[in-house]
Chain A
Amino acid sequence: GAGVSQTPSNKVTEKGKYVELRCDPISGHTALYWYRQSLGQGPEFLIYFQGTGAADDSGLPNDRFFAVRPEGSVSTLKIQRTERGDSAVYLCASSLSVNTGELFFGEGSRLTVL
């Protein structure tokens, strides 16, 4: 069956450019999470959606980061004016509902900002 799909798998961009990362959750999963992971560290929480609304965006590091989920399925993480420090693997996960706690992760999008 289809798992969580993330595109692109790799993205190389230049400092100052705009980037979009896409996440296709498992069909029927209402909860969607974004994390980023730097080398040697655990995933860092960014934002969590329940349906179309961002239930908790307290992990977004600054206003250059924004995420949407307009129809309650696909989500896009948007990063403006990228900086070298944004280089990381961006992970998306989905779960059936807010109360199951079992997250299914994609393989991530590796972002490199030169």
Chain B
Amino acid sequence: DAKTTQPNSMESNEEEPVHLPCNHSTISGTDYIHWYRQLPSQGPEYVIHGLTSNVNNRMASLAIAEDRKSSTLILHRATLRDAAVYYCILLLYDNNNDMRFGAGTRLTVKP
């Protein structure tokens, strides 16, 4: 299974950008990079995903390294509601499509 490595925790100040890194050096050519986040006492929620090109949506941006061995989730202006555990996951789209989470990065946002 392709694996990801993330820092255990990060801190940010409110209203500032946050860059959450993820290393996936064993990624294969057909693995998609997915990010989910989990707010306290809730189930995980989808944030963004990509394959090779950088991606933007209303929640965040995903920057993917040219060699695809790492990626960065970017929150452009952190709010207190962004405090959560962020998970970076590799997903191979095939008929055996299971999504496996690691420990993630716990983001603390300071006012």
By a beta-carbon cutoff of 8 Å, the part of chain A in contact with chain B is: 4, 31, 33, 35, 41-45, 48, 50, 55-56, 58-59, 91, 93, 98-99, 101-108
Contacts and interface: CB of A to CB of B under 8 A. Distances in A.
Closest 10 CB pairs of A and B: A105-B43, A42-B101, A98-B97, A43-B101, A102-B46, A48-B98, A56-B98, A45-B100, A42-B103, A99-B93
B85 A107 contact: no
Interface of B: 32, 34, 36, 41-46, 49, 85, 87, 91, 93, 95-104
A4 B93 CA distance: 22
Given A35-B101, A42-B102, A43-B101, A98 B44 contact: no
B100 to A, nearest CB: 5
29 contacts: A33-B98, A35-B101, A42-B85, A42-B87, A42-B102, A43-B44, A43-B101, A44-B101, A45-B98, A45-B100, A45-B101, A50-B95, A55-B95, A55-B96, A56-B96, A58-B98, A98-B93, A98-B97, A101-B32, A101-B91, A101-B93, A101-B99, A102-B46, A105-B42, A105-B43, A105-B44, A107-B41, A107-B42, A107-B43
